Amino acid sequence: MREISRRGILGLGAGAVASLAVAGCSSSDSGSRPRAGRTTQARPTLRPIGDGSTAYSGKQPNQPSAPERLEPGQKPPQFVVFSWDGAGEVGNGLFPRFRKLAKDHGAGMTFFLSGLYCLPESKKNLYRPPNNPAGASDIGYLTDDHVRMTLQNVREAWLEGHEIGTHFNGHFCAGSGTVANWTPAQWRSEIDQAVSFVTKWRTNTGFTDLDPLPFDYRKELVGARTPCLLGQDNLLPTARELGWRYDASSPGGRQVWPSKKQGIWDFPLQQIPFPGHSFEVLSMDYNILANQSRNSTNAPPANYPGWRKQATEAYIAGFQRAYETNRAPFFVGNHFEKWNGGIYMDAIEEAIKHIADEKHKDVRLVSFRQLTDWMDAQDPAVLAQLRTLGVGQQWSAATA
């Protein structure tokens, strides 16, 4: 089975590789947490859009009830967002695994779909990346079978209530073609192409036996994460013109309440405690890997049990610090990869189970779009007061 390749490492500060950042592509449960205000809805009636790759089906199913505005002095919920870069299914079963885990624990998630994962390699010259040759990509194109699997999982994920964002296309993190140097106009070209690949997959693949994606992607797309967390400053003007509502590309954020950049909600990956070390680590699977195995994705298996435990404890420590103090939303980034024996996938699963435990009250596992809905519904003065709370600073009604 082919793994999705990734390149590019971004250093983020002190502690050797302590803050390396890489943003790459890839039943009932009696003890599960119900999603407040959510009801299961019947499969919608579809109204095809364009070539039938997508279709309008009405309001997205399985969404939270309308956000309620906090009163001054009211303790905020603990929001947790698990997000996935690339969101391609390459036959390793990770996309359906975490869809099921989300369903079991009442979680909404964000899947940042790479547009190229809807484009067959035989049509790669349709992609014209800024400052790079036609068809170039620093991530691998998927096989036709894997494109098919990805489309099926994206469709089901949306129907289950998850958000489909974008991770753009070619994932250029180095050299003259890096996204770090793209202009706002070049970002617009990249976005237009990503949307085109998602909305014209039927034409490009020739698949006639798959159902359409049941949403209008141009309207659904309201946020993104850039490759390797690069290029946000020039992306934001374009994002604002397109009506996007948030961006999740900032590296090295702290566990404090979010603010806006250029009118867009800024939801950064965060520095979280790293057990056994004096420095903190960015809340993404690859960054933990970079510190544990010096970027090796196939290190000696004897290390795996200890590293799995350390990764799990890092995620849990990040959650607990926010939950027990300032209640800042907790953001985690992941890839559908089996690096180092799949230990980071196991760590994420254990962290989700811990966070979703019934002993944790007022926890909401949501997508970035759902969090944005809640943030936009709040009194700006109440949010401003929450932003005065530092990392690990205790919330109290007196400071709210």
Q: What is the pLDDT of residue 397?
A: 75
Q: In what order do the strands lie in the sheet with 264-266?
A: 246-247, 264-266, 260-261
Ranges of residues in the chain whose predicted pLDDT is under 70:
1-44, 398-400
Which superfamily is assigned to 48-61+76-399 in CATH? Glycoside hydrolase/deacetylase (3.20.20.370)
- CA triple 51-218-57, angle to 5 deg: 65
**Where are the domains positioned within the chain?**
48-61+76-399
- Which ranges of 34-165 does DSSP label H, i.e. alpha helix? 94-104, 144-159
For residue range 46-101, what is the model confidence (pLDDT) as tens digits? 899 999 999 999 999 999 999 999 999 999 999 999 999 999 999 999 999 999 99
Q: What is the pLDDT of residue 252?
A: 84
- CA triple 235-238-243, angle to 5 deg: 120
- Cα–Cα distance, 220 to 350 (Å, whole number): 30
- Cα–Cα distance, 226 to 264 (Å, whole number): 15
- CA triple 187-191-196, angle to 5 deg: 150
Q: Annotate 107-128 with b (16+ C-beta within 10 A) or e (fewer).
A: bbbbbbbbbbbbbbeebeebbe
Task: Determine the residue type at 96.
Answer: P
Q: What is the pLDDT of residue 40?
A: 52
Q: Which residues pair with 110 in a beta bridge?
A: 83, 163
